[in-house]
Amino acid sequence: MEVIIVDNASSDDSAQVASAFQGVRMVRNNRNLGYGSGNNLGFKLARGNYLLVLNPDTVALPGSLDTLVSFARRHTTAGIVAPQLLNPDGSVQRSAFRFPTLIMSFLDLFPLPRAVPGRLRNWISSSTINGRYPGEPTKMQPFRIDHPLGAAMLLRRDAIEDVGGFDEQLFMYSEEVDLAMRLRQAGWECWQVPAARVIHLGGQSTKQMPDRMLHELWRSRLYTYEKHHSRLVNIVLRALLATAQVKASIATRLGVVLGAMSNEEANLRLRLARALFRLAVSMKR
């Protein structure tokens, strides 16, 4: 086994972790190349038949990596083999998803009103209509999925070389979705193996700049849709995003008038809404 750390120009002392472990290879970039480009650099340096993508906010539980490799060796058509992710308290974190649809985007942009009964709300949030695999938290046997959460996943080198690794046009978000789509098109499969478990803290870097990350999230989503879907689907998605920002702007201004929101908070929300609106109307195929 070889361990390669790609440090995307971090500003703290985290890169010094490599000096504490013998045989760890450290690559320090002088600028942040983004998630996909950083991992692709690691892929080029790696020599193994399997490539484990592991985010810095994860803890692989004992035996999890052996379980992933063992499954991949038995299933030669598996391009991606993903573990079950856990929250820090040990509860199951949903990490197996279906490919994005317009319905999923609608539910994301227009959350269900509070009047919707809790039972119906829970069903929608955990059903296939919202991209989930029903019963995922209790599944014990491996099952095929469309794509995993990219925090931890084992990739077959042959599959990665077949499709060319991560799309480096994606700086952050949607990289695993795009990769899984291209692997599916090339005849490779994606699996989740619940017996392999990895704790995922989640969002430790992105939560530091939530507005910027939300903008990057939608930039990546629009790019991925443009790459894999028809022009009509893209027009509908951009229209949904733009409409949601108009709604958010109206709600924000009403909040100020009614005294439910400070001017400072309102200005931040309006600035984000304007940025997302411009993004929606400017992304063209």
Alpha-helix runs per DSSP H in the chain: 35-45, 64-74, 102-109, 118-126, 157-163, 175-185, 210-228, 231-257, 263-282
Domain boundary among 176, 203, 230: 203
Q: Which residues contact 67 (CB under 8 A, 6 or more apart)?
A: 83, 193, 195, 196
Q: What whole-number distance in Å separates Cα of residue 171 and Cα of residue 219?
A: 9
Residues 84 and 15 in one domain: yes
Question: Is pLDDT of 125 > 90?
Answer: no
Q: What is the pLDDT of residue 31?
A: 85
Rounded to whole angstroms, what are the CA distances from 31 to 28, 38, 243? 9, 10, 35
Domain boundary among 141, 175, 203: 203
- Closest alpha carbon to 141 in 67, 229, 234, 217: 67
Rounded to whole angstroms, what are the CA distances from 221 to 177, 208, 215, 217, 240? 9, 21, 10, 6, 13
Q: What is the pLDDT of residue 285?
A: 46
Q: What is the pLDDT of residue 61?
A: 96
Label residue 123 by pLDDT band (50, 70, 90).
confident
Residue range 27-65, pLDDT digits in tens: 888 888 888 999 999 999 999 999 999 998 999 999 999
Residues 185 and 78 in one domain: yes
Q: What is the pLDDT of residue 167?
A: 95
Asked if residues 57 and 205 have their Cβ atoms less than 8 Å apart, the reply is yes
Residues 14 and 154 in one domain: yes
Question: Is pLDDT of 280 > 80?
Answer: yes
Residues 89 and 229 in one domain: no
Q: Which residues contact 110 (CB under 8 A, 6 or more apart)?
A: 240, 244, 247
Q: What is the pLDDT of residue 241?
A: 96
Q: What is the pLDDT of residue 283?
A: 58
Instruction: Please report, for the domain that includes residue 49, its CATH number.
Output: 3.90.550.10
List the helix and strand counts (H, then E) for the chain.
9, 11
Q: Count how many domains the chain has.
A: 2
Residues 198 and 217 in one domain: no
Q: What is the pLDDT of residue 138?
A: 87
Q: Which residues contact 58 (CB under 8 A, 6 or more apart)?
A: 151, 152, 198, 199, 200, 201
User: For 126-134, what is the mean pLDDT?
Assistant: 85
Residues 144 and 236 in one domain: no
Token pair listed for 147: 């794509």
Q: pLDDT: is 83 or 260 the higher one?
A: 83
Residues 182 and 154 in one domain: yes
The reply to whether 267 falls in a domain is yes
Q: 18: which DSSP letter?
A: G
Residues 36 and 80 in one domain: yes
Q: What is the pLDDT of residue 195?
A: 96
Domain boundaries, position 146: 4-98+133-203
SS3 181: helix
Domain boundary among 203, 222, 255: 203
The reply to whether 254 falls in a domain is yes
Residues 28 and 141 in one domain: yes
The reply to whether 104 falls in a domain is no
Residues 19 and 93 in one domain: yes
